[in-house]
């Protein structure tokens, strides 16, 4: 009986967090502005929701465990930068996969990309094409400015889930 109570408490907490995050997606916290010729867009709009990377037939719920059947996943941990608050911060765990092509990625997806020796985790807020190919503009949800252009060769992962 205690085990069932614990599981139900976990599920209720998970659903509560989901509903809070879902409700935040309807709040427009920032106005678009121009930064060095790059368009900045709000990361909290319906147009920039992350892609649906996990289908319901890949999720199995049992009384003592949850199984997400996806090949090639890994777990990520986050640095305490605060750039992605309120979605996640240090102490949370992410579920990530390696994207295979640039067409899989859409505005709203959270990607990890290499910048020097750092692995940056920010949301895609715009996508474009220049002489070097398709590029992505990213931004931390809690940051005021967008990042520089990111090309697919520098993208290491796409986050497909967050565990709190």
pLDDT at 13: 59
pLDDT by 10s per residue, the chain, length 164: 676 666 656 565 555 554 455 444 444 333 333 334 444 444 444 456 888 899 999 999 999 999 999 999 999 999 899 999 999 899 899 999 999 999 999 999 999 999 999 999 999 999 999 999 999 999 999 999 999 999 999 999 999 999 88
pLDDT at 29: 35
pLDDT at 33: 32
pLDDT at 147: 94
Indicate the pTM of the whole model. 0.70
In the three-class reduction of DSSP (H, G, I as helix; E, B as strand; rest coil), residue 2 is classed as helix
Q: What is the total count of domains within the chain?
A: 1
Supply the range of the domain harboring residue 76.
2-163
pLDDT at 28: 37
Domain at 123, CATH number = 2.10.109.10
Q: Residue 112: which of 49, 162, 55 has the closest Cα?
A: 162
DSSP E strand stretches across the chain: 33-35, 38-40, 59-61, 66-68, 74-77, 93-97, 110-115, 118-130, 133-139, 149-151, 155-163
Q: From CA 47, how far away is CA 79, in angstroms rounded?
A: 27
pLDDT at 39: 42
pLDDT at 94: 94
């Amino acid at each position: 009986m205690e085990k069932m109570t614990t599981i139900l408490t976990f599920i209720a907490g998970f659903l509560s967090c989901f509903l809070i995050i879902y409700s935040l997606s309807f709040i427009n916290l920032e106005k678009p502005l121009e930064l060095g010729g790059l368009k900045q867009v709000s990361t909290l709009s319906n147009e920039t929701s992350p892609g649906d990377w996990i289908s319901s037939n890949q999720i199995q719920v049992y009384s003592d465990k949850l199984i997400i059947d996806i090949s090639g996943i890994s777990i990520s941990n986050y640095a305490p930068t605060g750039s992605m608050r309120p979605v996640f911060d240090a102490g949370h765990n992410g579920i990530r996969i390696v994207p295979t092509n640039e067409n899989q990625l859409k505005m709203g997806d959270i990607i990890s990309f290499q910048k020097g020796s750092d692995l940056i985790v920010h949301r895609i807020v715009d996508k474009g094409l220049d002489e070097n190919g398709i590029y992505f503009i990213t931004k931390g949800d809690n940051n005021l400015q967008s990042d520089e252009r990111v090309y697919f060769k520098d993208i290491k992962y796409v986050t497909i889930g967050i565990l709190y």
